Amino acid sequence: MDKAAHRQAQWWLAFFCFIEASFFPIPPHPLLGLMCLAEPDRALRFGIIATLSSVAGGLLGYAIGWGLYGSIGEWLIATLGYAEVFPAAQCRFAELGPWAVFLGGATPVPFKLMTLTAGFMEMALVPFILASLAGRGLVFVVVGALFKLFGTPIKAFIERYLGLVTTAFAVLVVAGFVAVTQLRGSEDGTTTGEACVEAVPLGESAD
């Protein structure tokens, strides 16, 4: 709340969005919401700042996963409590590719887990950036746009329903992609689920 009222609030927002996308455990959504609530006329601007800085931070997470996994990435994943789910995250990337990043950006799935995994899996950089922009923008820019259009009365709707709506939309988009992939896999006599199970190390669960 102190940072939301600070004269340099936009820089604090950019800072928290940047570090949250790679290693910071606390999400920046409360700060964004308070800033939009305080200045609805600038809410869209705040949403764009949050999106761009989060994508920039995602590139840092990508770089850690890509080039510093042994020295920093592995420790970071363990510290954040993602060690058990990291093999499953790799599995999802093998299935979904950029859609996994989109899901991480638009749903409660930790975005930092997706950025670190993307780097570790050596995902192509351009699809990673585009998927990050789409996922983060779906959340942050939509919040800013709603405050811009409707002002403070939209606060109750955002607090109650926005997470559910954006998650449902993102899941539906990715589900369509998965359905097509499964269909193609069945034509070849295999399914992405089977490939996913094979991708997880022995002793780990794909769930």
- Domain membership flag for residue 3: no
| Banded pLDDT at 105 (limits 50, 70, 90) | confident
Please, which residues have CB within 8 angstroms of residue 184's CB and are 6 or more apart in sequence?
none
Upper half-sphere CA count for residue 189 (Cβ side, 13 Å): 0
- Domain membership flag for residue 98: yes
Upper half-sphere CA count for residue 199 (Cβ side, 13 Å): 20
- Domain membership flag for residue 207: no
Predicted confidence (pLDDT) per residue in 115-165, tens digit: 998 999 899 999 999 999 999 998 898 888 888 787 767 767 666 766 676
With residue 17 as reference, give the H or E element that holds it: helix 9-20
Q: Which domain holds residue 144?
A: 9-199
pTM recorded for the entire structure: 0.74
Predicted confidence (pLDDT) per residue in 74-94, tens digit: 888 888 888 888 888 888 788
Domain count, the chain: 1
